[in-house]
Amino acid sequence: MFGPLVLAYSAAQLLLGSPVVAVENGLARTPPLGWNSWNWFACDISEETILSAARAIVSTGLKDAGYEYVIIDDCWHAPARDPITKEPLANPVTFPSGIKSVADKVHDLGLKFGIYSDAGSETCARRFGSLGYEQIDAKTYASWGVDYLKYDNCNNEGFSGNESISSWRFSQMAKALNETGRPIVYAMCNWGEDHSWTWAGKLANSWRMSGDISDMFTGYSKDCPCTSLLNCTTFGHHCSATRIIDWTAYMVNYAGPGGWNDLDMLEVGNGNMTNDEYVTHFSMWALLKSPLILGNYLTKMTPDILDIITNDAIIAVNQDPLGASIKRSWKRLLEEGDVQMWTGPLADGSTVVALMNTSPDPQTATISFKDIPSKSPNPETTTFRAFDLWQRSSELTRSGTRWGLDIGLFQGQISDITLKRHQTKVFMLVPQVRTTLRIQEDAE
Ligand code: GLA
């Protein structure tokens, strides 16, 4: 059944070599923000699951905080495509009104709508995939009003193993989406296979670069084996948040406007981490410029979880127009875990700094300004005003954003910052001259 398709693909691959299909869709100039059904619901989804999440995005204020894509993951499918037209069909029991009707209702709420498919014969949950059906699927998604496609990598019939063949397979959907003329964010999900972060930017608006996340803060699972670029062929699943963060250190330079490292959907609120751990998870995803795609049960969310995912200062860093990921400045290894400092520039010339404690004990750390990538001629002698982005304050706004608590002026360093077990603190350092300008701008 699959034979002719395999032959056709092999022939095309020989003819085409390694094509470059630039995504060039003008989308995702900042990382997409939204919600996806998989992490909490897996295959247990229906129209009501999706629409109640969409309504909760509006009623809880998540929409106002910037979350806009409502994405149905795997398992929306009918048992088979339309036997005559080969168009994809929705499961008539769980999605009786059809996908277009769900998309319309999501749009009516002022939100955008996303769907899932797979660059293989079947999805990871063994529903029909899009390999060989890219054009008809893209066309159908466009007619349904799809704004975002998550495109997975299971059951790829062996069309992987090197950049050329994987990028060719994923480029088929890139091309098909572009041909529809509808703006559709293309989120590649091949888990980093064939070092996709080095080439996916030519095709897609984001690319998964790790095995599947689990709702756990730390720990090594043999199912998530990659620790270095050299030993990594299988990406797996059951990856803890800190393992994904460490892994991302290899690929921070590839993130930028229009194309982002996707660290996987958030687990914040799913119950297996402490609030400090979820703060670390959310902060690092945001500063590493991952799409922030929530994966929790929105209608049952507690206020402290809502508080974490609506921290407007952290979201503003994620959405900063410069689009530069933080990079690791140092890592202090401890008997168990470590303390790490990461820094990155923001469009207005200020610097964001994250101090992360993955150890089970409280730690102290110092931010030395010599380690920060400031545009100031000499960060060591510049005075910076520092804001703590996890201490909320209504003072000092820039473009309507609350930037956390002003903790004062510093030169050379901020010393002896205390970090609780598994806590991350995030600071914004503003060269003093800019602070003056900003206060003036805000007063006008
Ligand atoms: C893969 C993806 C997950 C999810 C499942 C669905 O494992 O990486 O994010 O989409 O498939 O089956």
Q: What domains appear along the chain, each with residue ranges and CATH number? A: 5-13+325-431 (2.60.40.1180), 16-318 (3.20.20.70)
91 compared with 223, residue with greater pLDDT? 91
Centre of ligand 1 to C-alpha 330, Å, is 32
| Total-model pTM | 0.92
Query: Where residue 399 falls among pLDDT bands split at 50, 70, 90?
Result: low
Report the pLDDT value the prediction gives residue 368, as an integer from 0 to 100.
97
Structure confidence at residue 229 (pLDDT): 77
pLDDT score at 106? 99
H/E run at residue 365: strand 363-368
Quickly state the pLDDT bin for 13 (edges 50, 70, 90). very low
pLDDT computed for residue 221 by the predictor: 81
118 lines ligand 1 (CB under 6 A): no
**What number does the ligand 1 atom closest to the CA of 211 have?**
8
152 is catalytic: yes
189 lines ligand 1 (CB under 6 A): yes
Mutation test residue for ligand 1: of 212, 215, 244, the one with most atoms within 8 Å of CB: 212
* Mean pLDDT of the region 62-71: 98
CA 122, 123, 128, 134 torsion-angle sign: negative
Q: How far apart are CA 50 and CA 309, in angstroms?
A: 19
Q: Helix or strand or coil: residue 321?
A: coil
Instruction: Give dist(CA 168, CA 185) in Å, integer.
Output: 18
Highest mean pLDDT among 236-245, 283-292, 400-409: 283-292
Residue 116 C-alpha to ligand 1 middle, in angstroms?
A: 9
Ligand 1 centroid, distance to 414 Cα (angstroms)? 42
In one-letter notation, the amino acid at residue 141 is Y
Amino acid at 249: A
The conformation of residue 395, written as its DSSP 8-state character, comes to -
Which of 36, 45, 73, 191 is the best mutation target for the ligand 1 pocket, counting ligand atoms within 8 Å of the beta carbon and taking the most?
A: 73
Residue 347: what pLDDT?
95
User: What is the model's pLDDT at position 398?
Assistant: 55
Closest to 134 measured CA to CA, from 177, 71, 91, 78: 177
Whether the CB-CB separation of 53 and 37 falls below 8 Å is answered with yes
How high does pLDDT run on average in the chain? 91
- pLDDT of res. 411: 97
pLDDT recorded at residue 2: 39
Average pLDDT score over residue span 123-148: 98
Instruction: Name the percent of the chain lying above pLDDT 70.
Output: 91
Ligand 1 centroid from CA 364, angstroms? 38
The pLDDT, as a whole number, for residue 437 is: 45
Residue at token pair 């670069």: 209
253-260 mean pLDDT: 95
Find out whether 131 and 79 touch, Cβ atoms under 8 Å. no
Most confident of 3-7, 77-81, 230-234: 77-81
What is the pLDDT at residue 15?
40
The closest-lying atom of ligand 1 relative to the alpha carbon of residue 116 is 10
3-class SS of residue 286: helix
Check 147, 212, 215, 262 and give the catalytic one. 212
Closest Cα to atom 8 of ligand 1: 212
Q: Tell me, what's the pLDDT at 401?
A: 65
pLDDT of 40 reads: 98
- Ligand 1 atom at minimal distance to the Cα of residue 124: 12
